[in-house]
Amino acid sequence: MLSLEAVEVGYGQIKALKGITLRVSDGQIVALLGANGAGKTTALRAISGLLRTSAGSISVDAVRLDRLAPEEIVRRGVVQVPEGRRVFAGLSVLENLRMGAYCRDGSIADDLERVYRYFPVLGQRRRQAGGSLSGGEQQMLAIGRALMARPKVLLLDEPSLGLAPKLVAEILKIIRTINADGVTVLLVEQNAYQALSIAHYSYVLRVGRVVLEGTAEELKDRNDVVRSYLGRQAAG
Amino acid sequence: MLAQQIVSGLATGSLYALTAIGIVLIFRNTRTINLAQGDFSMIGAFVALVILEHSGGSLVVATLVTIVAVTALAVVVERLIMRPIEGSDWLTLFTATLGVFYILHGVAGWIWGRDTKSFPALFSSAPLSIGGTLISQAHLFNILVAAVVGGILYLFFRFTKPGIAMRAITEDPVAAQLMGIPVRSIVLLTWAVGGVLAAISGILLAPLVYVSTQMMDGVLVKGYVGAVFGGLYSLPGAVIGSLIIGVAENLAGGYLGAQYKVTIAFVLIVLVLALKPRGLFGGKARREI
Ligand SMILES: Nc1ncnc2c1ncn2[C@@H]1O[C@H](COP(=O)(O)OP(=O)(O)OP(=O)(O)O)[C@@H](O)[C@H]1O
Ligand SMILES: [Mg+2]
* pLDDT at residue A231, rounded to an integer: 64
* pLDDT at residue B281, rounded to an integer: 67
A236 — pLDDT class (breaks 50, 70, 90): very low
**What residue spans of chain A are helical by DSSP H?**
40-47, 70-75, 93-100, 109-118, 120-124, 135-147, 165-180, 192-198, 216-221, 223-230
Pair A161, A172: CB distance under 8 Å:
no
DSSP run (H or E) holding A206: strand A201-206
Residue of B nearest to A83 (CA): B175
- SS3 annotation, chain B: CHHHHHHHHHHHHHHHHHHHHHHHHHHHHHCCCCCCHHHHHHHHHHHHHHHHHHCCCCHHHHHHHHHHHHHHHHHHHHHHHHHHHCCCCHHHHHHHHHHHHHHHHHHHHHHHCCCCECCCCCCCCCCEEECCEEECHHHHHHHHHHHHHHHHHHHHHHHCHHHHHHHHHHHCHHHHHHCCCCHHHHHHHHHHHHHHHHHHHHHHHCCCCCECCCCCHHHHHHHHHHHHHCCCCCHHHHHHHHHHHHHHHHHHHHHCCCCHHHHHHHHHHHHHHHHCCCCCCCCCCCCCC
Domain count, chain B: 1
Mean pLDDT value across residues A104-120: 95
Return the amino acid letter for A95: E
A139 and chain B in contact, CB less than 8 A: no
Rounded CA Rg of chain B:
19
Q: Examine residue B280 and state whether it is found in any structural domain, yes or no.
A: yes
Ligand 1 closest atom vs CA A12: 4
Mean pLDDT value across residues B28-43: 96
What is the number of the ligand closest to the CA of A39? 1
Question: Distance from the CA of A76 to the center of ligand 2, in angstroms?
Answer: 24
**Ligand 1 lining (C-beta closer than 6 Å):** A 11, 14, 16, 34, 36-42, 83, 190
Question: Distance from the CA of A40 to the center of ligand 2, in angstroms?
Answer: 5
Find the CB nearest B178 among A70, A75, A90: A70
Q: At what angle do helices A109-118 and A165-180 cross, to 10 degrees?
A: 140
Please give the residue that has the higher pLDDT: either B114 or A54: A54
How far does the CA of residue A219 sit from the closest CA of chain B (Å)? 31
Q: Which residues of chain B from 162 to 201 reach within 8 Å of chain A, CB to CB?
A: 164-165, 167-168, 170-172, 174-183
Tell me the pLDDT tens digit for each residue of A13-27: 999 999 999 999 999
Domain extent for B194: 2-111+141-287
Residue of B nearest to A77 (CA): B180
* pLDDT at residue A50, rounded to an integer: 97
High-pLDDT (> 90) share of chain B, %: 74
High-pLDDT (> 70) share of chain B, %: 97
- Our mutation pick for probing the ligand 1 site, out of A4, A7, A11, A83, counting the most ligand atoms within 8 A of Cβ, is A11
**Helices (H) then strands (E): counts for chain A:** 10, 10
In chain B, residues with a C-beta closer than 8 Å to the C-beta of A48 are: 177-178
Any bridge partners for residue A34, and if so which? A205
Tell me the pLDDT tens digit for each residue of A3-12: 999 999 999 9
Q: Do A86 and B180 touch (CB under 8 A)?
A: no
CA-to-CA distance for B96 and B35, rounded, in angstroms?
Answer: 9
User: In CATH, which of 3.40.50.300, 3.30.420.40, 3.40.50.2300, 3.40.50.720 is domain A1-77+151-236?
Assistant: 3.40.50.300
Query: Chain A interface, mutation test: which of B29, B86, B178, most A Cβ atoms within 10 Å?
Result: B178
How far does the CA of residue A74 sit from the closest CA of chain B (Å)? 5
Residue of A nearest to B171 (CA): A88
B132 — pLDDT class (breaks 50, 70, 90): confident
Find the CB nearest A82 among B167, B178, B181: B178
Q: Examine residue B136 and state whether it is found in any structural domain, yes or no.
A: no
What does the domain layout of chain A look like in residue ranges? 1-77+151-236, 86-150
Residue of B nearest to A143 (CA): B179
In chain B, residues with a C-beta closer than 8 Å to the C-beta of A105 are: none
Any bridge partners for residue A58, and if so which? A4
A50 and chain B in contact, CB less than 8 A: yes
Q: Examine residue B12 and state whether it is found in any structural domain, yes or no.
A: yes
* Residue B97: pLDDT over 80: yes
* pLDDT at residue B288, rounded to an integer: 37
Q: Examine residue B133 and state whether it is found in any structural domain, yes or no.
A: no
CA A57 to chain centre: 19
Mean pLDDT value across residues B215-233: 92
Q: Examine residue B282 and state whether it is found in any structural domain, yes or no.
A: yes
Question: Distance from the CA of A41 to the center of ligand 1, in angstroms?
Answer: 7
Mean pLDDT value across residues B100-125: 92
CA-to-CA distance for B164 and A198, rounded, in angstroms?
Answer: 36
CA-to-CA distance for B232 and B245, rounded, in angstroms?
Answer: 15
B289 — pLDDT class (breaks 50, 70, 90): very low
Sheet holding A78-81, edge to edge: A78-81, A153-157, A184-189, A29-34, A201-206, A209-215
Question: Distance from the CA of A206 to the center of ligand 2, in angstroms?
Answer: 13
DSSP 8-state secondary structure symbol assigned to residue A171: H
A149 and chain B in contact, CB less than 8 A: yes
Question: For residue B286, which of B153, B134, B143, B169 has the smallest C-alpha distance?
Answer: B169
CA-to-CA distance for A73 and A191, rounded, in angstroms?
Answer: 28
Q: ipTM for the complex?
A: 0.93
Three-class SS state of A189: strand
How far does the CA of residue A66 sit from the closest CA of chain B (Å)? 15
For residue B270, the tally of other CB atoms under 10 A from its CB is 11
In chain A, residues with a C-beta closer than 8 Å to the C-beta of B170 are: 90
Find the CB nearest A99 among B174, B181, B182: B181
Please give the residue that has the higher pLDDT: either B282 or A50: A50
Tell me the pLDDT tens digit for each residue of B44-81: 999 999 999 888 878 899 999 999 999 999 999 999 99
Return the amino acid letter for B76: V
Find the CB nearest B180 among A75, A86, A87: A75
* pLDDT at residue B282, rounded to an integer: 57
A120 — pLDDT class (breaks 50, 70, 90): very high
Question: Distance from the CA of A3 to the center of ligand 2, in angstroms?
Answer: 20
Question: Distance from the CA of B261 to the center of ligand 2, in angstroms?
Answer: 54
In chain B, residues with a C-beta closer than 8 Å to the C-beta of A80 are: 178
Mean pLDDT value across residues B269-274: 84
How far does the CA of residue B113 sit from the closest CA of chain A (Å)? 45
Any bridge partners for residue B42, and if so which? none
Q: Do A99 and B284 touch (CB under 8 A)?
A: no
* pLDDT at residue A171, rounded to an integer: 94
Three-class SS state of A107: coil
Mean pLDDT of chain B: 91
A173 — pLDDT class (breaks 50, 70, 90): very high
Find the CB nearest B178 among A75, A80, A89: A80
High-pLDDT (> 90) share of chain A, %: 84
For the ranges A6-15, A126-135, A142-151, A193-202, which has the lowest average pLDDT? A193-202
Tell me the pLDDT tens digit for each residue of A88-100: 999 999 999 999 9
Tell me the pLDDT tens digit for each residue of B169-204: 999 999 999 999 999 999 999 999 999 999 999 999
* pLDDT at residue A52, rounded to an integer: 96
Please give the residue that has the higher pLDDT: either B188 or B130: B188
Residue of A nearest to B165 (CA): A99
Buried residues in A64-95 as b, exposed as e (16+ CB within 10 A): ebbebebbebbbbbbbbbbbebbbbbbbbbbb
Pair A88, B192: CB distance under 8 Å:
no
Tell me the pLDDT tens digit for each residue of A179-201: 999 999 999 998 888 888 899 99
DSSP run (H or E) holding A55: strand A55-60
* Residue B260: pLDDT over 90: no
Question: For residue A20, which of A210, A206, A200, A234 has the smallest C-alpha distance?
Answer: A210
Specify burial of residue B258 (Cβ count, 10 A radius: 0-12, 13-18, 19+): exposed
CATH number for the domain spanning B85: value is 1.10.3470
Three-class SS state of A149: coil
Find the CB nearest A71 among B161, B170, B182: B182
